[in-house]
Amino acid sequence: MDYFAQQLINGLVLGSIYGLIAIGYTMVYGIVGMINFAHGDIFMIGGFIALITFLILVSLGLTAIPVILLIVLLVSMAITALYGWTIERVAYRPLRHSFRLAPMLSAIGMSFVLTNYSQVAQGARVKPIPPLVTGGYTLHESADGFVIRLSNVQILVVITTIVLLAIFTWLVSRTRLGRDMRACEQDQTMAALLGVDVDRTISMTFVIGAALAAVAGLMYLLYYGLVDFFMGFVAGIKAFTAAVLGGIGSLPGAMLGGLAIGLIETFWSAYFSVEYKDVAAFSILIVVLIFMPTGLLGRPEVEKV
């Protein structure tokens, strides 16, 4: 039972990270109808920028952890968002009205570019950082000495996720930008006729998605204490799985799917085998798509004849 509770905590934390990435997939898919293959790599870039910013701040002699975290968060969000914006501008916008396969291949190409760009720029080796947020709470200690721990990093990840989600939900449901986004999702031509700047709205979608991926990158860095150039690929597929599981196009669905994938992966590793945890995640993707193509919270599609 204690072991279970501990895994539950770990799974929720991991799930929060997946959920943050999944939102980027689901938003872009909802609005432009393409799988942004490069999104996993945007997450990786976010992690790297967080790492580098952290290094600079420390070497500048800054010691107050909360201040460092805040600056790292803002810098990585800003720069990564610019990456998202640029990629849309360079690789996707020219293909927006092209054949369906073209943007997808362009996205795959962009994913290769980003992966190898950071390998070339920062080297192939794993980059570790010392634990930044330490300590935690012992929630429960059982008779056989098993301890359920809730570390401060875990609390930080979950709280940051919740806060960002709240801001993000407000942004989508209450602001002009959110309304424009929902309009473009329904019908781009009509939205344009009604005075919505479609180009700008799509750009903003990529910007927001990338910013959230940057947060996920920072969280990953804090939680696992390392980044490497290849981490975007698997994390990207899993986050996409999460988006599909939750019902692609649905924002709460993406978060829910993220949590589900995080929990499944953690429990699978804990009770079955660590080696096959990715196989489990991908198998779930296949099974969900077969039996529940619209996901948990997605809208069913009626075939038009």
**Interaction residues for another protein, span 47-106 (CB under 8 A):** 48-49, 51-53, 55-56, 59, 79, 82-83, 86, 89-91, 93-106
CB-based contacts of 21: which residues, under 8 Å, 6+ apart?
39, 40, 43, 212, 213, 216, 235, 236, 239, 242, 258
Query: How far is residue 210's CA from residue 232's CA, in Å, rounded to a whole number?
Result: 13
Residues 184-223 that bind another protein (CB under 8 A): none
Q: By CB under 8 A, tell whether 111 contacts another protein.
A: yes
Residue selected from 115, 201, 266, 269 as contacting another protein according to rule CB under 8 A: 115
| Residue 240 near residue 25 (C-beta atoms within 8 A) | yes
Query: How far is residue 122's CA from residue 127's CA, in Å, rounded to a whole number?
Result: 9
Q: Is 85 left (phi over 0), alpha (psi -120 to 50) or beta?
A: alpha
CB-based contacts of 161: which residues, under 8 Å, 6+ apart?
16, 17, 19, 20, 215, 219
Strand intervals (E) in the chain: 127-128, 136-141, 147-151, 226-227
Q: By CB under 8 A, tell whether 269 contacts another protein.
A: no
Judged by CB under 8 A, the stretch of 146-154, 158-166, 181-189, 240-248 that binds another protein is: 240-248
Closer residue to another protein in complex, CB, 161/201: 201
Least distance (Å) between residue 110 CB and another protein = 6
Closer residue to another protein in complex, CB, 91/164: 91
x-or-dash string of contact with another protein, 117-156, rule CB under 8 A: xxxxxxxxxxxxx---------------------------
Closer residue to another protein in complex, CB, 120/194: 120
Judged by CB under 8 A, the stretch of 115-123, 149-157, 159-167, 212-220 that binds another protein is: 115-123
Closer residue to another protein in complex, CB, 18/83: 83
Tokens encoding 55? 């290094």
